[in-house]
Amino acid sequence: MIKSFHRLFVSKTDGEYEALKQFFSLLGLAHGEAWDGRRSRGIKLDAPESGVEIGFGEGFPKADIVLEADSAEVVYELLQKQKIKVIEEISDTDWGARIFSVALPGNNGVMAVFSYKENWRHEQIEGRLDATGSRFAIVVSRFNAFVTERLLSGAEQALRQMGAKNEDVKIVRVPGAFEIPTAARALAESGEYDAIVCIGCLLRGNTLHYEVIANE
């Protein structure tokens, strides 16, 4: 039974070995089994998924190794900062992805990196950001007001941008973070609000105040 599948790179020099190790580590591959013996040294760098892909027809990247990322754009910018040689610039494909290719360190071939523009593997449910006609309560603590008042302003602005009217937003101030749950529960039990926003701020200091309040 096969236990793993890896693409093997045998470096010609110590510098090439370190360059490849740094390159794939930079991309986020996890360090796995490693060894440093008399005849050789090496390391396995693992991805969550790996395997053999077999294709037929057109549209496949011309590369020795293919990497799927969450965002090809992010990886492209990361490798550009490292001055990695780009073989093919990032572009859209007719199969719903963004893709580019780069030269691997030490003339070890070409790597293609792609990400799908839509997550077709899983059904997705997205909410509609529309607060029109809904009623909201915002519970905000007075303690550490220099932080909480700014958060309150941001929350009010966000609700207005989503269509909420000023008269549909009620502000409830409490002494500190400890009192927020009590006020929020009373507002929820009233049945008058579609959602309740809670805003508080705890600062870690030289006393146990932070730990006591956070634990409660």
Q: Which residues are catalytic?
A: 209
What is the pairing mode between strands 136-141 and 195-199? parallel
DSSP type of residue 130: -
Containing H/E element for 17?
helix 14-26
Q: Which backbone phi and psi does 215 adopt, to 5 degrees?
A: -65, -40
Whether 200 and 177 have beta carbons less than 8 Å apart is answered as yes
Separation CA 160–CA 27 (nearest Å):
40
Separation CA 107–CA 113 (nearest Å):
17
Whether 31 and 75 have beta carbons less than 8 Å apart is answered as no
Greatest Cα pair distance in the chain: 76
